[in-house]
Structure 1
Amino acid sequence: MNSNSEMVDYLVDVGALHSSDIIEAFRNVDRADFVHDRSVEDIYEDYPLGIGLGQTISQPRTVAMMLEMLSPKEGQKILDIGSGSGWTTALLAYIAGESGSVIGVERVAELVRFGRKNLEKYNFKNAKIMEASDELGVEGEKFDRILVSAAAEEFPHELKNQLKIGGKIVIPVQNSIYEMTKDENGELDGVEHYGFTFVPLIY
């Protein structure tokens, strides 16, 4: 695959992308803007690429599947944990639109700078990337959607408190992705998707 458009067509063809707003975001946020070297030939191939410091920009199919699970909407307040290169933050910012907001959180200071630089290419007014604190997520805030792009050893329950009633979280735990919604009683209910590999979540 030699272009972002070809990559998106492929993701649609294999069934990883199917929502019109998410497809539009993928078409308008170019993966090449979130790698260190735009000249490498495999930018648009369907596998992770290293971005330094033992971290990766995730496999396009995995990102597509996780965003479809998350089902972000225009106007929502969204938290992106493990923002890395800033690609997922930018995709979410495109979907959330001017009436929504996205906070990317990244623990590695060098990647915070890298992600911010990449995000600036799109001049989003509704998105920012912060360096992670000792607390997971953003303490004292509540979100409509939470995306986590690194694998926890066990589900971090502190994130449940940062999710609004009716809100949704998508998070890898070990080798599965959990897709869960917070019900009116404040409990999480959802499904487990097996067979994924992520860098570890550190906090």
Structure 2
Amino acid sequence: MLHYPKMPGSDAAPIGRCVAFDKLDGTNLHWCWERDFSWHAFGSRRDEFNLTEAGTAEFNAAHPGLEEAAPVFLATTAEPLDAILREHANYSPFTSIKVFTEFLGPNSFAGAHKPGDQKQTLLFDVWAEGYGFVSPTQFVADFGHLPSPRVVYTGKLTGAFLEAVREGKYGVAEGVVCKGGSGGGDVWMVKVKTYAYLTRLKATFGTRWQDYWE
């Protein structure tokens, strides 16, 4: 099962207004919340484990290098997120919600994390069962005060903006994720990466650089 959709590159960018977020260079993880049980499961984009001692051990065995993910999420992000999902009127109709975080440290690169770095789990998307993804504007309004990617730009998505991102004019290391739509099935997203990141990929992975590109 794919818990988070494969994001298209900038060639698929529609014309319209968007919110562009700093694209963080980490590992995409999901966390499952139920109104009756709070946080009960988690995993990568393609697998899921119970958020218990045994389930966490299974996750760690399947994903070496991500052993700090569950402890960091539970210590820093789980409680304030739980409060919003229970108390905010926008989420009262929903009993099952899945949130997505980027797990990373200051020296993370292409999904690899350096032991000893201080890690974070930064929230970047919220999905409600029976509805879909929260719109980017609602996400910023409801969750922007929590640790989350920086908003780089809000406005019309243009070719000039995409090229400016690639040239490094917005102070991002990897690139940006542009999101638009009013919520639910209307939400769209595309990723745009910088030329500097491309150079780093080619130097690190050689002919496999396209595996990490857009």
**Which TM-score tier does this pair reach, normalised by the shorter chain?**
0.3 to 0.5
Q: Structure 2 length as normaliser, TM-score?
A: 0.36
1 or 2 for the larger relative contact order (CA 8 Å, sep ≥6)? 2
Computing the radius of gyration over CA atoms, which structure comes out larger, 1 or 2?
A: 2
Q: Structure 1 length as normaliser, TM-score?
A: 0.37
